[in-house]
């Protein structure tokens, strides 16, 4: 049986850790690619990390080919491509600066992937996420079903982890769902949260649940504040690997994904976080949930924020 070919663009913390999780789960042969040598960016970054990971294989007992490269030719005919490339926001950099810079980086990556892996399913992790997924769709011209963003799996994991810690239960028994864009406008759905099938509202006060939801919205910022000089990467990479597994193993997982919604939820042609069935074809079906009036209002606020972000990107890249 032919093994899947998984390309991960960007050999930073998120990209390299995604390669680690994918290798450990033996999801396929992995190509880790980063930009060629520039000032302050050693040419061997992707090569070195792939070689280091390969040498862990005999210890951790996983069998897959691991390749580090600076050439997109080595990524040809990938089944899944994960894009983590981009820069974090730096001191003195406005949000528009970050948006313009990463739109250029992600756009150039998308053009390479379009030429080398025209049949790939693409998972975008780069920020600002909802705009970057749209940028990849625009540049590749791929079906929207084959271009998606990773955010909901991560945000839902944070919500579940906080609920499990609060209630003193196993994370395995906590289920949750959220909608909307990635960031402080995300909409964790209290109505869809449960522990062992018991609605979470029967186990925790509304006031405390609201506090946990707010902590979930600020989950990434909390980690940045603690690290001072970096951002989260273990959980984002694990979330990405879960999506890769759903695709390469055609698992038909129901997961929250930044998916292209047109008529769905009345979005009108933008990427927002919604529950989908994720399998070999990418986003195979979008699940539409009933929402309370409050949840619907919060979701619309999130969609409006995504629309504004995309409009700003269009202005900056025109």
Residue 290 tokens, joined = 């009933």
Alpha-carbon distance of 46 to 60, in angstroms, equals: 20
182 in catalytic set = yes
Residues facing residue 157 across a β-bridge: none
152 with 273: CB under 8 angstroms?
A: yes
Of the candidates 45, 146, 182, 217, the residue annotated as catalytic is 182
Token readout for 29 is 């042969």
Catalytic residues: 182
């Amino acid at each position: 049986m032919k093994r899947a070919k998984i390309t991960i663009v960007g050999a930073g913390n998120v990209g390299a850790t995604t390669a680690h999780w994918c290798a450990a789960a033996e999801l396929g042969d992995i190509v880790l690619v980063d930009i060629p040598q520039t000032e302050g960016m050693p040419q061997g970054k992707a090569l070195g990390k792939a070689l280091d990971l390969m040498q862990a294989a005999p210890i951790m007992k996983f069998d897959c080919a691991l390749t580090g490269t600076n050439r997109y030719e080595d990524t040809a005919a990938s089944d899944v491509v994960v894009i983590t490339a981009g820069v974090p926001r730096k001191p003195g950099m406005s949000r528009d600066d970050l948006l313009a810079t990463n739109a250029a980086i992600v756009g150039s990556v998308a053009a390479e992937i379009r030429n080398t892996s025209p049949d790939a399913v693409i998972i975008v992790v780069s920020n600002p996420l909802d705009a970057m997924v749209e940028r990849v769709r625009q540049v590749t011209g791929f079906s929207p079903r084959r271009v998606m963003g990773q955010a909901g799996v991560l945000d839902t994991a944070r919500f579940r982890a906080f609920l499990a810690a609060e209630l003193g239960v196993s994370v395995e028994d906590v289920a949750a769902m959220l909608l909307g864009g990635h960031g402080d406008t995300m909409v964790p759905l209290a109505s869809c949260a449960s522990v062992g099938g018991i609605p979470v509202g029967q186990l925790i006060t509304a006031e405390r649940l609201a506090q946990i939801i707010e902590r979930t919205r600020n989950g990434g910022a909390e980690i940045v504040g603690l690290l001072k000089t970096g951002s989260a990467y273990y959980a984002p990479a694990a979330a990405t690997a879960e999506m890769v597994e759903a695709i390469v193993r055609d698992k038909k997982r129901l997961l929250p994904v930044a998916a292209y919604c047109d008529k769905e939820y009345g979005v009108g042609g933008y990427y927002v976080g919604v529950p989908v069935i994720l399998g070999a074809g990418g986003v195979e079906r979008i699940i539409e949930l009933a929402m309370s009036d409050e949840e619907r209002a919060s979701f619309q606020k999130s969609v409006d924020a995504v629309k504004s972000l995309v409009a700003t990107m269009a202005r900056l890249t025109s």
